[in-house]
């Protein structure tokens, strides 16, 4: 790349900072010991409690924020009535206080400027920053159309800016939680059962007799109620089967751990189908009643014997049979979990199809201990005029992927790179609540796109990697400091939860709702913001939902009775599935018509060449992606990621635990920072493993900067799912460098 | 492969990855306590045996060192406390099971007595600085008369003090290196040996030097015996004790322990003392200083290495 | 009344929520902790075992930390809970040296601190913060003297162990295995 116009600003922005370091001053003086003891034991403290729901990940557990007499948030405790958490937050939710107390937070709007030939940020007033955004957006809209303004978002702030964008006439919207996350399973399950899996997954884990986890590492993946229910399942003596090339925490709790060779899961799934059908362990009645294309499937999987799969997966035929029988005997109270982050090798929709089909054979969809029929209550939209109709949007941009159900981030990124043949040129981005540098693979393409943009606004709470590329940075206050949209949960029983501001925003930060409205009004969209402030919207919505702010302040979560019918299939009636045929489609005519395999096929994927190891990554239970690395409470638990290396590999390469190494991938991309080795039997000899979300590049993150390696940077090769556009990320290989490759270069 | 780690990432200052709660002041405190115990023991013993005129260094010159050592030791201990303003809490209760408590009490008694002891010799020690006040003179003569009584008080107290410096460590079940019955006697003997060495250093009479050289030689041999005994015991002990011993025998403290404590601090001075007694011309200050240095390092090694040894992780 | 904690290692996922919850409940300064989680891996790929456990002061029945404390700051209540009174503690460190579990630390303010079994919460009829938060519900708390308490029953019906029993401290934190 030639000199970048929009250079990443690493070093301190001018004037940013100053405001910090006031909070801890009190602790400097020794304090009265008697009082001290009282405080230490929290006896003397009187708390105000405010309902909220957690924003540290997307499970959105409802909670209570405890504020002391000094107006400091001291702790956050789960709401007992909430089906997402049952009164127990996960470590990240409990440590959510740190999101609020983190003194490295963004404190005031910042505008990119050039001082003495050096690009830097200067502090700006909200008015100045918002005016600038409005004038840039207006200019681009006039010249290229509102469609050329793209929104990349995630989490709650996304909702407010989505409304802004739609009001403006742009549907050019995407989030990493689709093409980098759940996309393939939503398409795969929709093709089979005619229904998304959705979040939270409607898996009836607490009542299951057999839970099959395919690379779904619950326990490290701390999606709260799933973790809780898996624990219930252990208490109930359920059989847990984990398929994972790494000895995950879940694997350690399992009766069967199938240490599969990476990328070969489809072979195992096909072979399981083979055994279930051959040994007639499948739910005949269910399949007969609801299945479509069973005979084709039966015929098709006849060839996939466990012996065949053994050669591919390295899992012994006996183990395959044993586990298939365990599922068959437990059925229909069996769950083959769809997983969540499922963009692995590019054939992911087909793998998810295989998982869905397997569940179909087990008769688990709509059965107790399998998948329940979820339900939610609709939160009415505050009345506003109809949105203008955009000429094109995420759908058109992703038109090469016929079964994409949401915007594909990578396609929006590609459309932002100037190209004569591009029918849908994107000129500016607004990025809200997503750290694209760490969440989108193929960073080179991403940077090329950002370089070409006319304008880039980032709305975040922290100075993360992506903020370094912004023209304007807007500091949103944390979830604990704002009232926000009413959460409506899809669950066994519908419920809503509220988020009220527990304290006023620290520094000069503002709620996303306020920011969106201010920009909207400056863009002449006042008619879409026909209210004084967002509290008025919440007030109105709660009344519509038959409750009130006062009531919700006391209960935080309100449950509603089910209206859609029973949670499980009514065996006396015939259920209509949401597929075109109304049946569970073992054979997919839709895929066939689009030129794809109607039933999943196994294809071999590349393997690491000599001297390289497959880059495997996952979650640490105490962190969420890159957003918590600097959180003081959570950073204290885990301040950097480690590189898991099998002892055999360590012996060959002469590596020791805690030794610092660097990585270089198959495309000669070198990690910015070093990572400490952890020699452990929990990983295979052909792979290395690390937790995603570390290796932060922004010096403003005083705790996280330079700690560990960013896996995303090493994922330069992506395997795009031709069906829905997901970016398979598990086919990257790295070699381990023991010498600092940056010795002579400054980074 | 066996792997053990703290997944919640503990890194508490002075606790992780190994204990470092007691720093150099504690080693110095133990050394000075032992030294004072040794000096006071010999002063008292010789007084009781009515040999005080023959051995002036033991009862008089060297005993100046004890109140200084005790005071400095107490200061060192105080320095290492982290909640100092509550120091007085030590003296609001007697806790028989806590060596720290009875150590504090013993020090509270023995330190003033050691001052009084020196005061009783004031006129002889500092003939140039006459006591100007009458009542002080009176007091001095009162003390002189009661010297034997003081000796009877000091004799058991000094033994308790000497043993205490060892028990303070050996009472800690949790630190495998410390947790053995030999440590009390070992520290007592070592303290006596450093006391004897100080007397040798300060003595001007050959007779006295020779007596204490002999005593010291005996003590050193005893000490070496106790060290061997301690190691054998540890070797026969549990896995954790075995690992603890490894620190001294094949670990990072081996050089310090064998090189400085056993060889330079015990064996070499013992040989030198032996040769000197046999008539070889060897400046007596050399073995004496080596003994003192060895004693100090011994305490450093035991305090530091002991804190590394543990039951878990 | 003899309080005890029972932790089911078969359910613990090592998430360390117990550590954060303790931190926010008890104002434990960042960088310190009253409880922590250990991971033990044995065997070799692919036949491996993993044990995760949340550890803290064991409120030993035979508590060396109480015995060695020169001021009485470390003391044991009738219900078995071992506590430190901050303004009686001189910070001599003896109790830290005496604890085979390294369960105590010097608070930056000088006194020694450790797990209290959240006795301030027990007084209000609440469970300890770590027990109340644990997402896998693998921690149990109750009275060993009561035959019908959950902890008594679990210890009767399940296999268990305590940490470093050879140290002779009679720990009151039990691990189901
Ligand atoms: N290499 C690699 N890439 C991945 C994954 C992986 O495992 N490995 N996982 C993929 C998956 S499954 C997903 S879902 C995505 C997630 O991708 P992202 O959602 O981008 O994940 P985070 O890194 O958490 O980034 C969230 C950003 O939001 C900011 N933020 C937090 N709270 C708020 C708030 O209240 N308001 C605002 N405005 N901002 C806030 C944070 O500071 C952070 O910068 O990543 C995907 N990308
Ligand atoms: N603590 C925590 N929890 C989280 C999140 C977080 O950031 N932190 N993020 C949440 C989000 S948005 C998501 S999408 C989920 C993701 O959570 P999951 O869907 O559970 O996670 P993945 O990242 O897909 O899976 C990682 C596991 O897949 C295994 N794996 C790697 N390659 C293969 C393979 O070829 N075959 C098989 N069978 N397994 C393989 C890895 O060894 C690892 O154990 O986690 C959610 N929960
Ligand atoms: S699972 Fe944890 S981080 Fe996610 S919303 Fe719930 S408490 Fe927060
Ligand atoms: S909170 Fe529970 S599951 Fe998590 S580490 Fe602690 S004991 Fe284990
Ligand atoms: S675990 Fe340690 S601190 Fe707790 S009672 Fe036992 S010895 Fe004392
Ligand atoms: S540090 Fe405090 S609690 Fe511990 S032994 Fe000393 S005085 Fe007692
Ligand atoms: S019982 Fe209370 S003090 Fe002890 S570890 Fe649990 S939360 Fe912390
Ligand atoms: Mo995700």
Task: Tell me how many domains chain C contains.
Answer: 1
User: Residue A472: which residues within 8 A CB-CB, separation 6 or more?
Assistant: A109, A110, A111, A112, A124, A129, A132, A133, A456, A457, A458
C173-176 and C160-161: which strand pairing? antiparallel
Q: Burial level of A45, CB count in 10 A (0-12/13-18/19+)?
A: middle
Cβ-defined contact of A681 to B1 (cutoff 8 Å): yes
- Out of A52, A53, A54, mutate this one to test ligand 3's pocket (max ligand atoms within 8 Å of CB): namely A54
Selected for mutation to probe chain C from A40, A246, A250, A254 (highest C CB count within 10 Å) is: A40
pLDDT of residue A6: 55
Torsional sign, CA A320, A324, A326, A327: positive
Share of chain A above pLDDT 90, in %: 92
Average pLDDT over residues A615-638: 97
Selected residue with higher pLDDT from B223 and B311? B223
Chain A hits for C52, Cβ within 8 Å: 249, 252
What is the Å distance from ligand 3's center to B123 Cα? 80
Q: Which of A291-295, A552-556, B117-121 has the lowest mean pLDDT?
A: B117-121
pLDDT of residue B129: 81
Confidence of residue A33 (pLDDT cuts 50, 70, 90): very low
pLDDT of residue A1: 36
CA atoms in the 13 A half-sphere facing the CB of A217: 20
Average pLDDT, chain B: 92
> Distance between CA atoms of A251 and A215, rounded to whole angstroms?
10
CATH number of B24-308: 1.20.1630.10
pLDDT of residue A745: 65
A48-53 and A334-336: which strand pairing? unpaired
8 A C-beta contact, residue A677 and residue A656: yes
8 A C-beta contact, residue C96 and residue B21: yes
Is it the case that residue A233 has pLDDT exceeding 80? Answer: yes
Selected residue with higher pLDDT from A1 and B145? B145
What is the Å distance from ligand 1's center to A713 Cα? 15
> Which protein residue has the closest C-alpha to ligand 7 atom 6?
C130
pLDDT of residue A218: 97
- Name the residue range of residue C156's domain: 3-176
What is the Å distance from ligand 7's center to C118 Cα? 5
Average pLDDT over residues A453-468: 97
B272-292 per-position pLDDT tens digit: 999 988 889 888 899 999 999
Say yes or no: CB of residue A248 within 6 Å of ligand 2.
yes
pLDDT of residue A438: 96
Selected for mutation to probe chain B from A29, A636, A649, A651 (highest B CB count within 10 Å) is: A636
Looking at the domain covering A18-102+478-510+531-565, what would its CATH class be? alpha beta
Q: How many residues does chain B have?
A: 313
Cβ < 6 A, ligand 6 pocket: C 69-71, 73-74, 84, 89-95, 112
CA atoms in the 13 A half-sphere facing the CB of A433: 23
Average pLDDT over residues A3-29: 39
Average pLDDT over residues C59-64: 96
C155: CATH? 3.30.70.20
> Distance between CA atoms of A710 and A696, rounded to whole angstroms?
7
Chain C hits for A31, Cβ within 8 Å: 109
Smallest CA–CA distance from B85 into chain A, residue: A33
Domain ranges of chain A: 18-102+478-510+531-565, 182-374, 613-737
pLDDT of residue A28: 32
Does A613-737 carry CATH code 3.40.50.720? Answer: no
> Distance between CA atoms of C175 and A497, rounded to whole angstroms?
37
DSSP C167: G
B184-187, long-range: CB < 8 A, 24+ apart: B185/B226, B186/B223, B186/B226, B186/B227, B186/B230, B187/B30, B187/B34, B187/B162, B187/B163
pLDDT of residue A15: 34
The tokens for A498 are 């509220």
CATH number of A182-374: 3.40.228.10
Confidence of residue B125 (pLDDT cuts 50, 70, 90): confident
Say yes or no: CB of residue A624 within 6 Å of ligand 2.
yes
Domain ranges of chain B: 24-308
> Which protein residue has the closest C-alpha to ligand 1 atom 44?
A435
The tokens for A688 are 């290395």
Average pLDDT over residues C91-120: 96
Confidence of residue A24 (pLDDT cuts 50, 70, 90): very low
Query: Between B and C, how many residue pairs show a Cβ–Cβ distance under 8 A?
Result: 158
pLDDT of residue A22: 29
pTM exceeds cut of 0.90: yes
Average pLDDT, chain A: 93
Establish if A679 touches chain B: CB-CB under 8 angstroms: yes
DSSP A654: T
pLDDT of residue A27: 33
> Distance between CA atoms of A571 and A368, rounded to whole angstroms?
12
A105-156 per-position pLDDT tens digit: 999 999 999 988 889 999 999 999 999 999 999 999 999 999 999 999 999 9
Alpha helix positions (H), chain B: 24-48, 56, 65-80, 99-120, 122-125, 134-145, 147-170, 183-202, 206-235, 239-250, 254, 268-277, 285-308
pLDDT of residue C40: 97
Cis peptide before B17 (omega within 30 of 0): yes
Average pLDDT over residues B143-158: 93
What is the Å distance from ligand 7's center to C121 Cα? 10
Cβ-defined contact of C30 to A91 (cutoff 8 Å): no
Cβ-defined contact of A234 to C135 (cutoff 8 Å): no
Q: Which of residues 20-39 of C touch A (CB under 8 A)?
A: 20-21, 23-27, 30-31, 33
For the CA of C58, the nearest atom of ligand 5: 1
Task: Give the three-class secondary structure for A123.
Answer: strand
pLDDT of residue A19: 31
pLDDT of residue B1: 86
8 A C-beta contact, residue A338 and residue A213: no
pLDDT of residue B48: 94
Helix (H) or strand (E) holding A513: helix A512-522
Say yes or no: CB of residue A181 within 6 Å of ligand 2.
yes
Is it the case that residue A34 has pLDDT exceeding 50? Answer: no
Q: Which of residues 72-101 of B touch C (CB under 8 A)?
A: 77, 80-84, 86-87, 89-90, 92-93, 95, 97-101
* Residues lying with their CB under 5 A of ligand 8, a single-atom ion: A 181, 341
> Distance between CA atoms of A707 and A701, rounded to whole angstroms?
10
Its ipTM equals 0.93
Average pLDDT over residues A626-653: 97
Task: Give the three-class secondary structure for B173.
Answer: coil
DSSP A178: I
Confidence of residue A8 (pLDDT cuts 50, 70, 90): low
Q: How far apart are the first and last CA of chain B?
A: 15
* DSSP states along A348-371: HHHHHHHHHHHHHHHT-BTSTTSB
DSSP A14: T
Nearest CA-CA partner of A567 in A514, A660, A493 = A493
Is it the case that residue A40 has pLDDT exceeding 90? Answer: no
Average pLDDT over residues A612-624: 98
Chain A hits for C26, Cβ within 8 Å: 40-42
Average pLDDT over residues A344-365: 98
Torsional sign, CA A137, A139, A140, A141: positive
């Amino acid at each position: 790349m030639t000199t970048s116009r929009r250079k990443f600003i690493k070093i301190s922005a001018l004037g940013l900072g100053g405001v910090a370091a006031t909070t801890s001053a009190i602790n400097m003086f020794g304090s009265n010991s008697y009082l001290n003891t009282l405080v230490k034991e929290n006896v003397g403290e009187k708390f105000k409690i405010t309902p909220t729901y957690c924003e540290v990940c997307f499970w959105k557990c409802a909670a209570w924020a405890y504020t002391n007499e000094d107006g400091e948030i001291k702790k956050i405790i789960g709401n007992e009535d909430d089906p997402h958490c049952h009164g127990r937050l996960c470590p990240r939710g409990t440590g959510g206080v740190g999101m609020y107390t983190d003194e490295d937070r963004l404190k005031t709007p910042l505008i990119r400027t050039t001082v003495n030939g050096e690009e830097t940020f200067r502090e700006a007033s909200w008015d100045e920053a918002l005016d600038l955004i409005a004038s840039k957006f207006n200019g681009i809209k006039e010249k290229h159309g509102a469609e050329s303004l793209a929104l990349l978002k995630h989490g709650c702030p996304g909702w407010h800016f989505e409304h802004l964008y739609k009001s403006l006439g742009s549907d050019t919207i995407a989030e990493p939680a689709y093409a980098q996350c759940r996309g393939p399973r939503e398409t795969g399950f929709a093709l089979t059962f005619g229904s998304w899996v959705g979040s939270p997954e409607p898996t009836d884990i607490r009542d299951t007799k057999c839970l099959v986890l395919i690379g779904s590492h619950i326990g490290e993946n701390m999606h709260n109620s799933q973790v809780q229910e898996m624990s219930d399942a252990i208490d109930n003596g359920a059989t847990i089967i984990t398929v994972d090339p790494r000895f995950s925490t879940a694997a350690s709790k399992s009766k069967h751990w199938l240490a599969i060779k990476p990328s070969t899961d489809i072979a195992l799934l096909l072979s399981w189908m083979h055994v279930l059908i051959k040994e007639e362990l499948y739910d005949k009645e269910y399949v007969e009643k609801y299945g479509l294309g069973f005979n084709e499937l039966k015929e098709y999987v006849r060839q996939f014997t466990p012996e065949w799969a053994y050669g591919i997966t390295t899992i012994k035929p006996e183990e395959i049979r044993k586990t298939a029988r365990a599922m068959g005997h437990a059925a229909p109270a069996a769950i083959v979990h769809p997983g969540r982050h499922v963009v692995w090798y590019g054939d992911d929709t087909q793998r998810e199809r295989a998982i869905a089909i397997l569940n179909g054979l087990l008769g688990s969809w709509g059965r107790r201990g399998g998948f329940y029929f979820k339900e939610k209550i609709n939160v009415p939209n505050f009345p506003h005029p109809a949105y203008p109709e955009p000429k094109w949007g995420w759908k058109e941009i992703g038109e090469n992927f016929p079964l994409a159900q949401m915007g594909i981030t990578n396609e929006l990124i590609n459309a932002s790179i100037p190209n004569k043949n591009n029918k849908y040129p994107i000129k500016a981005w607004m990025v809200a609540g997503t750290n694209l540098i760490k969440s989108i693979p193929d960073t080179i393409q991403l940077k090329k796109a950002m370089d070409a943009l006319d304008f880039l606004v980032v709305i975040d709470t922290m100075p993360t990697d992506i903020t370094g590329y912004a023209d304007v940075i807007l500091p949103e206050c944390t979830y604990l400091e704002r009232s926000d949209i009413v959460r409506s949960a899809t669950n066994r029983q519908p419920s809503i939860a509220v988020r009220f501001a527990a304290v006023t925003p620290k520094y000069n930060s503002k709620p996303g709702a306020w920011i969106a409205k201010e920009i909207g009004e400056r863009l002449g969209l006042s008619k879409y913001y026909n209210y004084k402030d967002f509290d008025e919207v919440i007030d109105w919505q709660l009344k519509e939902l038959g409750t009130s702010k006062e009531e919700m302040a006391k209960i935080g979560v309100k449950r509603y009775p089910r209206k859609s019918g029973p949670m499980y299939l009514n065996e006396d009636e015939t259920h209509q599935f949401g597929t075109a045929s109304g049946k569970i489609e073992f054979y997919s005519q839709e895929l066939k018509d689009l030129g794809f395999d109607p039933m999943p096929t196994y294809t071999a994927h590349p393997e690491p060449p000599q001297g390289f190891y497959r880059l495997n990554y996952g979650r640490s239970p105490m962190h969420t992606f890159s957003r918590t690395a600097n959180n003081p409470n959570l950073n204290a638990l885990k301040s950097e990621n480690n590189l898991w290396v099998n002892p055999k590999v360590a012996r060959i390469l002469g590596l020791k635990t805690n030794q610092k190494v660097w990585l270089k991938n198959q495309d000669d991309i070198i990690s910015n920072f070093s990572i400490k080795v952890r020699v452990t039997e929990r990983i295979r000899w052909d792979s290395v493993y690390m937790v995603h979300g570390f290796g932060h590049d922004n010096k403003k993150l005083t705790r996280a900067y330079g700690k560990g390696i960013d896996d995303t940077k090493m994922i330069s090769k992506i395997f795009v799912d031709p069906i829905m556009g997901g970016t398979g990320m598990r086919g990257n290989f790295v070699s381990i460098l023991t010498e600092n490759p940056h010795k002579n270069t400054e980074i | 492969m066996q792997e053990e780690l703290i997944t919640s990432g503990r890194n508490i200052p002075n606790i992780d990855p190994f204990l470092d709660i007691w720093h150099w002041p504690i080693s110095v405190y133990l050394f000075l306590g032992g030294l004072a115990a040794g000096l006071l023991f010999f002063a008292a013993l010789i007084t009781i045996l009515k040999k005080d005129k023959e051995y002036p260094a033991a009862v008089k010159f060297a005993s100046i060192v004890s109140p200084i050592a005790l005071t400095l030791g107490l200061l060192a201990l105080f320095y290492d406390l982290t909640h100092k303003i509550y120091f007085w809490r030590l003296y609001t209760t007697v806790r028989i099971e806590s060596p720290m408590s009875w150590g504090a009490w013993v020090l509270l008694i023995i330190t003033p007595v050691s001052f009084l002891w020196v005061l009783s010799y004031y006129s002889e020690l500092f003939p140039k600085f006459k006591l100007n006040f009458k009542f002080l003179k009176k007091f001095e003569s009162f003390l002189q008369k009661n010297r034997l009584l003081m000796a009877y008080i000091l004799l058991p107290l000094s033994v308790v003090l000497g043993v205490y410096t060892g028990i303070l460590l050996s009472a800690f079940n949790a630190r495998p290196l410390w947790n053995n019955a030999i440590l009390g006697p070992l520290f007592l003997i070592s303290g006596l040996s450093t006391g004897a060495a100080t007397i040798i250093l300060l003595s001007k009479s050959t007779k006295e030097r020779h007596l204490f050289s002999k005593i010291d030689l005996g003590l050193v041999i005893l000490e070496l015996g106790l060290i061997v005994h301690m190691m054998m015991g540890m070797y026969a002990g549990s896995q954790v004790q075995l690992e603890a011993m490894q620190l001294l025998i094949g670990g990072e403290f081996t050089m310090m322990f064998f090189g400085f404590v056993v060889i330079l601090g015990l064996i070499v001075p013992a040989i030198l003392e032996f040769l000197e007694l046999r008539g070889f011309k060897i400046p007596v200050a050399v073995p004496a200083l080596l003994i003192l240095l060895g004693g100090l390092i011994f305490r450093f090694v035991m305090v530091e290495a002991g804190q590394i040894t543990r039951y878990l992780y | 009344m003899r309080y005890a904690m029972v932790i089911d290692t078969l359910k613990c996922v090592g998430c360390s929520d117990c550590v954060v919850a303790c931190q926010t409940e008890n104002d434990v300064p960042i960088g310190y902790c009253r409880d922590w989680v250990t991971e033990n891996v044995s065997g070799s790929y692919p036949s491996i075992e993993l044990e995760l456990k949340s550890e803290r002061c064991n409120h030993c029945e035979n508590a060396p930390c109480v015995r060695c404390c020169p001021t009485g700051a470390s003391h044991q209540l009738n219900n078995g809970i071992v506590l430190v009174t901050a303004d009686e503690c001189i910070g001599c460190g003896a109790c830290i040296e005496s604890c085979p579990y390294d369960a105590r630390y010097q608070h930056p303010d000088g006194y020694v601190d450790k797990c209290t079994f959240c006795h301030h919460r027990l007084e209000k009829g609440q469970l300890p913060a770590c027990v109340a938060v644990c997402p896998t519900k693998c921690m149990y708390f109750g009275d060993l003297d009561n035959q019908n308490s959950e902890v008594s029953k679990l210890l009767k019906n399940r296999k268990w162990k305590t940490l470093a029993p050879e140290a002779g401290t009679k720990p009151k934190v039990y691990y189901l295995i």
